[in-house]
A and B are shown apart, each in its own frame.
Chain A
Amino acid sequence: MLDQTFYQKADEIIAFYGKKPASLIPIMQDIQGEYRYLPGELLTYVAGQIGITEAKAYSVATFYENFSFEPKGKYVIKVCDGTACHVRKSAPILEKFQKELGLSAKKHTTDDMLFTVETVSCLGACGLAPTVMVNEEVHPKMTPEKVLELLQELRGEKG
């Protein structure tokens, strides 16, 4: 069972976008923005509130890459693997993150829930390739060495 505060938050978000089927995506985006994932029970609740079936809500949520039913880490690290970053060697940067954090193509989040590592297709800062985005902050001209510095810096912030 989710805490009652989750439902209160959901009510606020639903009220903001209006109880209509077209509000589904922005509502899910805001819920995920709040909790860094989309709790399944909450999605069921939202579906009921805006008048769509649970199946419909799940079919939409699973279609879009951005929605996650798994809780994500405090720092979501998106390694850009767009064309510009790819030709400027982004693959070793992803490998370095995965190696340092003990993650893989299947395991995205560290057990301490601090880091999630994913790839993204383009961050729009191609002039500074290769790039990495941590939450909403873009880090330019990355190298495997800078990966270590970045992780250290983020770990420092934690304390």
Chain B
Amino acid sequence: MIKSRDELNRACESAKQSLASYDCRILVCSGTGCIATGSQKIYEEFQKIAGGTPGIVIDFKPHDEGRHVGVKKTGCQGVCELGPLVRIQKGDKVVQYTKVQVSDCQEIFDTSVTADGVVERLLYTQKGVSYKSPDEIPFIAKQTRVVLENCGKFDAESFDEYLASGGFQAFQKALFEMKPADVVDEIDKSGLRGRGGGGFPAGKKWKQVAGQAEKERYVVCNGDEGDPGAFMDGSVMEGDPYKLIEGMMIAGYAVGSQNGYIYVRAEYPMSVARLRHAIKELEERNMLGDHILGTDFCFHMHINRGAGAFVCGEGSALTASIEGNRGMPRTKPPRTVEKGLWAKPTVLNNVETYANVPKIILQGSDWYRSIGTEGTPGTKTFSLTGTIQNTGLIEVPMGTTLREIIFDIGGGLKDGGTFKAVQIGGPSGGCLTEEHLDVPLDFESIKKYGAIVGSGGLVVMDDHTCMVEVARFFMSFTQRESCGKCTPCREGTKRMLEILEKIVAGNGEMEDLDRLEEIAQMVKNMALCGLGKSAPLPVLSTLKLFRNEYEEHIVDKKCRAKVCQAMRRFVIDPQKCKGCGKCARNCPASAITGEKKAPHKIDPNICIKCGACMENCAFDAISVEA
């Protein structure tokens, strides 16, 4: 139990002491990505090895004898593509290992834990250079980590390690040295803007809630990161759950709320587990509950799991879902700050926004304003995915250009591909191309080009991606996820999808492009909620930037990326074909003919373009022509 500020400081000191008493820490990445590649087994193996080595103690008090070795599960270490990731930390010296297998653990232990060597073959290598320390790896060195500063460095399930890393310093500063109004002012001055996509100033929102006559208020966190291709918020909830909670507690103090809710999407079971663990531990220590640290401040945290509805990422739909209703948006006003959860004034921010709060309170708004751009201070996390060399979780100052993100941090395209476009902002975002690579990314600059920063999904696409098909893909997503309440979104997305499907199937007409544009504009202007309004953006943006591809599909019946099935033409290379007849036997349409041991032929008029022949050819003789 921690009952006062003094006791919190003492707990912090003793946590720091025990952290300093480690001779060596084995940090096993336990983000969703690395767990998928088997890091849990690596963790168990290291536990076993360390536990079975004479002279090594893994469960110890600061003054116990023996070498103190800790085996810890951390949050995302960043380079997900190269998992499972393991770091060996001795004081300030950290070695990053990649693609670690169970069979490598003993060697790592003998080389880097009990001795001070390095297993060269497991280091991160780029362009022939090996990097020892994670901070030297170009992918990480070029980032600015504020929200993600603890991710990958500490045990994500340990309150003590969070304390030792400076956790709850901001909260106690707010609680004991600042009035609630000062906290709101500081956030307002920092210029922190909501990181969920809209970019609404957080300080303004807090001020409005704090100024309401109704005294029962709520603090709600939107962790319903529904954009496909985005996993930043999930990584924060898994990797540094205490920081999110601390941010929400500060918000609670600032606006006079006693209850916080985190709405987490159902597909993130690990986030739910880590948050539950953190809340339980905080409750046990009386850091959550009534009269926190002996003051009058009471704050309770609740977790709600989503149930698979994308629309619940919209504020009023999210609160409806917490209340146990269908997650449908409602007309505004009244806005969430006036009548949000249970029709009470509600601060609703997303995970990344709250995770920025502790550091702003601790280091001040001037410090925060020194990062990023004038209009959008601070950093932004992005999940960098698609056909790019280094996929993973990144954080950069606002104002960084796409070129720096894709080529410096991301290492350029995968397999030497050619950059075609980057999809930014998820299904409600747009595409940017070569010509936009040097635009500094912030909320305003991107809007000019018909895209949005959104929550921070960046999906890089190379020339094997068909932009018409991508537009169809996003439309099929938004159409499926449309809640059906307002007609423009419900009917509009359906009609746009039909047209896109028609074009992709090779039956498009030129008039379809005008129809598509007209419906898109109508939905953009008339839909009820933000999700509906932004649903046509992928269509509008691809129509603007890749109109020639649409026209090729319609006029020439050609898909240059060779993706659209209806436009693929399968051909047999007579040089490579051995005449084995396997393709002919497997063709469901009997479109392939030929003599035994002589090159076969595909009749394009009969071919149903299923690709079974290509899949079955042992000689690689069948290819697709655009």
Q: Which residues of A contact B (CB under 8 A)?
A: 21-26, 28-29, 52, 59-60, 63-67, 81-88, 120-129, 131, 133, 136-140
Contacts and interface: CB of A to CB of B under 8 A. Distances in A.
B461 interface: yes
B35 interface: yes
A20 B385 CA distance: 42
A128 B231 contact: no
Nearest to A121: B228
Interface stretch (B265-273, B543-551, B587-595): B265-273
A91 B308 CA distance: 21
Given A26-B305, A64-B307, A128 B37 contact: yes
B83 interface: yes
B326 A59 contact: yes
A139 B227 contact: no
Contacts of B470: 87
A60 B44 CA distance: 42
Interface stretch (B18-26, B207-215, B386-394): B386-394
B33 A127 contact: yes
A16 to B, nearest CB: 13
A127 B307 contact: no
B166 to A, nearest CB: 27
Contacts of B186: none
B386 A140 contact: no
14 contacts: A25-B321, A60-B326, A82-B229, A87-B470, A121-B228, A123-B267, A126-B383, A126-B385, A127-B83, A128-B80, A128-B81, A128-B83, A128-B391, A133-B267
A139 B79 CA distance: 17
A63 B79 CA distance: 37
Given A60-B325, A63-B326, A65-B308, A126 B36 contact: no
B477 interface: yes
Interface string B322-339: 111111100000000000
B36 A124 contact: no
Contacts of B327: 63-64
Contact of A87 (B227, B231, B328, B387): B387
Nearest to A127: B80
Contacts of A24: 324
Interface in B457-487: 457, 459, 461, 465, 470, 473-474, 477, 481, 483
A137 B228 CA distance: 18
Given A29-B305, A65-B308, A121-B267, 17 more contacts: A21-B324, A24-B324, A25-B304, A25-B307, A52-B324, A60-B324, A63-B483, A66-B308, A83-B229, A83-B426, A120-B267, A124-B267, A127-B81, A127-B391, A128-B33, A128-B36, A133-B267
Contacts, number: 139
7 tightest A-B CB contacts, nearest first: A127-B80, A82-B228, A64-B307, A83-B229, A65-B308, A84-B385, A124-B231
A145 B169 CA distance: 51
A128 B383 CA distance: 12
Chain B contact residues (Cβ within 8 angstroms of A): what range? Answer: 35 or more
B386 A65 contact: no
A87 B458 CA distance: 12
B308 A126 contact: no
A24 B325 CA distance: 8
B514 to A, nearest CB: 27
A25 to B, nearest CB: 6
Contacts of A122: 226-231, 267
Nearest to B383: A126
Contacts of A23: 324
B234 interface: yes
Contact of B36 (A21, A66, A131): A131
Given A87-B459, A125-B33, A128-B83, A136 B477 contact: no
Contact of A64 (B304, B308, B461, B465): B308
B33 A140 contact: yes
Contact of A126 (B226, B229, B322, B387): B229
Contacts of A64: 307-309, 327
A67 B37 contact: no
Contacts of B268: 124
Which interface residue of A26, A52, A83, A138 has the most chain B CB atoms within 10 A? A83
Which interface residue of B227, B307, B308 has the most chain A CB atoms within 10 A? B307
Interface string B426-437: 110000000000
B225 interface: yes
Contacts of B266: 29, 66
Nearest to B83: A128
Contacts of A84: 228-229, 385-386, 391, 459
Contacts of A88: 386-387
B46 interface: no
Contacts of B307: 25, 28-29, 64-67
Nearest to A27: B324
A127 B392 contact: yes
B491 to A, nearest CB: 19
A125 B473 contact: no
Contacts of B393: 127
A21 B305 CA distance: 16
B567 to A, nearest CB: 16
B269 A136 contact: yes
A21 B426 CA distance: 33
A83 to B, nearest CB: 4
Which interface residue of B267, B305, B322, B465 has the most chain A CB atoms within 10 A? B267
A106 to B, nearest CB: 15
Given A22-B324, A24-B324, A84-B385, A124 B308 contact: no
A128 B31 CA distance: 12
Contacts of A63: 309, 326-328, 483
Contacts of A126: 80, 229-231, 383, 385, 391, 457
B538 to A, nearest CB: 10
Nearest to A141: B37
B97 interface: no
Nearest to A20: B324
B2 to A, nearest CB: 28
B386 A121 contact: no
Contacts of A85: 228
B310 interface: yes
A83 B483 CA distance: 21
Contacts of B534: none
B560 to A, nearest CB: 16
A130 B427 CA distance: 18
B376 interface: no
B423 A83 contact: yes
Contacts of A123: 32, 267
Which interface residue of A25, A28, A125, A127 has the most chain B CB atoms within 10 A? A127
Contacts of A86: 228, 473
A83 B473 contact: yes
Which interface residue of A67, A128, A131 has the most chain B CB atoms within 10 A? A128
